[in-house]
Amino acid sequence: MRLTKKGLWGGIIREFRDFLPEIHDSAVTTLLEGNTPLIETVNLKDVFGDIRMLLKYEGLNPTGSFKDRGMTMAVSKAREEGAGAVICASTGNTSASASAYAARAGMRAYVLVPEGSVAMGKLSQAMMHGALVLQIKGNFDDALNIVKEITKDYPVKMVNSINPYRIEGQKTAAFEICEHLGHAPTYHFLPVGNAGNITAYWRGYREYEKEGIISNLPKMMGFQAEGAAPIVLGHPVENPQTIATAIKIGNPASWDSAVKARDESGGVIDSVTDDEIIEAYRLLASREGVFCEPASAASLAGAMKMKREGVLADGDTVVCTLTGHGLKDPDMAIKASAKPVKVPADVKKILKAMGL
């Protein structure tokens, strides 16, 4: 991994400067995002056999999701252009990230979120960072349409992934994976919502290949939730439904570029059920010690599905991006696990409960 002269990570803009649009140093707004671990699984042999399975744990970014990579770019550029405020529609993570980076830049943040469909951790982040949180009676797609309309006429910078700088920043996760492994994986799995991230990773891999840093390209494997799978169905979904609220999206903004990433790489965009997502979510936390949010587990659920269907083979190197931290959605974690055992403060009774 590249590091600054002092051996300290400088955030993705400074570390990958050669591959990113130029930004004046004084505008760089960073919380030292990026440099997230690529964790090799050790306890999933019964599921994956001799496949090398690695987890790109993006939940360890400063606001707990991969959005920070794109947000450092988008907010820095907005600052360079003299913007005083940013706006986004969000299922939660983009709003948390935009709010934090706007705070850091001394800018106002406006975030539009679907009422009742944003995990508690994410909502609390946007509120704490001082954003104006606008909860709409509508879904993410409605919120995005409103944001598009507002930014046409008002000097507020849109920081959804339609903003090209977001994709530019997010592609750096692919760079890190290549530098870590020394090559690209055979398959790269990730959840697909608004479809910006699959677009960004594919761009990153292709740029590293063009520069001769890697000589192979991965197949891009995107997974939507079954009740919110417009790309799989081939048409927008008016009323998307899934427990994975982060990817509860019926009409992704980067639809075309996601399809391009799939087709150019020879990959797949498919769906997984909520039950499959929860199974993968539990498996990661209970067997590997890695806590991600439900939407993130759609990547592993997708890999499990592809293994069952005989697509993955022994010897393949597979990376699953875990897009957000498990603490983002404590309600779902509590629902998905065994309840705490209530016991009196008494050694004997506690030993009995422990089975000793």
The smaller minimum CB distance to ligand F0G, of residues 113 and 318, is found at 113
Helix (H) or strand (E) holding 169: helix 164-170
Q: Interface with ligand F0G by CB under 6 A: which range of 30-38, 213-221, 264-272, 289-297?
A: 289-297
DSSP, collapsed to helix, strand or coil, labels residue 284 as helix
Count CB atoms within 10 A of the CB of residue 120.
14
| Contact indicator for 55, 288 with CB cutoff of 8 Å | yes
Q: Determine if 194 is a binding residue for ligand F0G (CB under 6 A).
A: yes
Burial of 46 (0-12, 13-18, 19+ CB in 10 A): exposed
Question: What would the 3-class secondary structure string for 96-165 be?
Answer: HHHHHHHHHHCCEEEEEEECCCCCHHHHHHHHHCCCEEEEECCCHHHHHHHHHHHHHHCCCEECCCCCHH
Which residue of 29, 36, 94, 265 would you call a contact of ligand F0G, by CB under 6 A?
Answer: 94
- Alpha carbon distance 261, 213 (integer Å): 20
- Positions in 254-283 near ligand F0G (CB under 6 A): none
Q: Interface with ligand F0G by CB under 6 A: which range of 49-57, 85-93, 174-182, 307-315?
A: 85-93
Pairing state between β 38-40 and 52-57: antiparallel
- Positions in 39-78 near ligand F0G (CB under 6 A): 65, 67
Q: Determine if 197 is a binding residue for ligand F0G (CB under 6 A).
A: yes
Q: Determine if 224 is a binding residue for ligand F0G (CB under 6 A).
A: no
CB of 314 to ligand F0G, least distance (A): 29
Q: Determine if 34 is a binding residue for ligand F0G (CB under 6 A).
A: no
The smaller minimum CB distance to ligand F0G, of residues 246 and 306, is found at 246
Q: Which two tokens stand for residue 59?
A: 């939940």
Q: Determine if 245 is a binding residue for ligand F0G (CB under 6 A).
A: no
Chain centroid, CA 33 distance in Å: 13
Binding mask 298-327 for ligand F0G (x = CB under 6 A): -------------------------xx---
- Alpha carbon distance 325, 290 (integer Å): 9
- Alpha carbon distance 286, 69 (integer Å): 28
Which residue of 61, 90, 265, 317 would you call a contact of ligand F0G, by CB under 6 A?
Answer: 90
Question: What would the 3-class secondary structure string for 1-13 be?
Answer: CCCCCCCCCCCHH
List, as one string, the DSSP characters of 292-351. Answer: B-GGGHHHHHHHHHHHHTT-S-TT-EEEEEE-BBGGG-HHHHHHTSPPPPP--S-HHHHH
Pairing state between β 132-136 and 219-225: unpaired
Q: Determine if 204 is a binding residue for ligand F0G (CB under 6 A).
A: no
The smaller minimum CB distance to ligand F0G, of residues 51 and 247, is found at 247
Which residue of 62, 92, 204, 240 would you call a contact of ligand F0G, by CB under 6 A?
Answer: 92
CB of 341 to ligand F0G, least distance (A): 31
CB of 322 to ligand F0G, least distance (A): 8
Q: Interface with ligand F0G by CB under 6 A: which range of 90-98, 208-216, 281-289, 305-313?
A: 90-98
Q: How many residues bind ligand F0G (CB under 6 A)?
A: 22
Which residue of 55, 295, 301, 320 would you call a contact of ligand F0G, by CB under 6 A?
Answer: 295
The smaller minimum CB distance to ligand F0G, of residues 65 and 163, is found at 65
Q: How many residues does the chain have?
A: 356
Binding mask 148-187 for ligand F0G (x = CB under 6 A): -------------x--------------------------
Residues of this chain that bind ligand F0G (CB under 6 A): 65, 67, 90-94, 161, 191-197, 246-247, 293, 295-296, 323-324
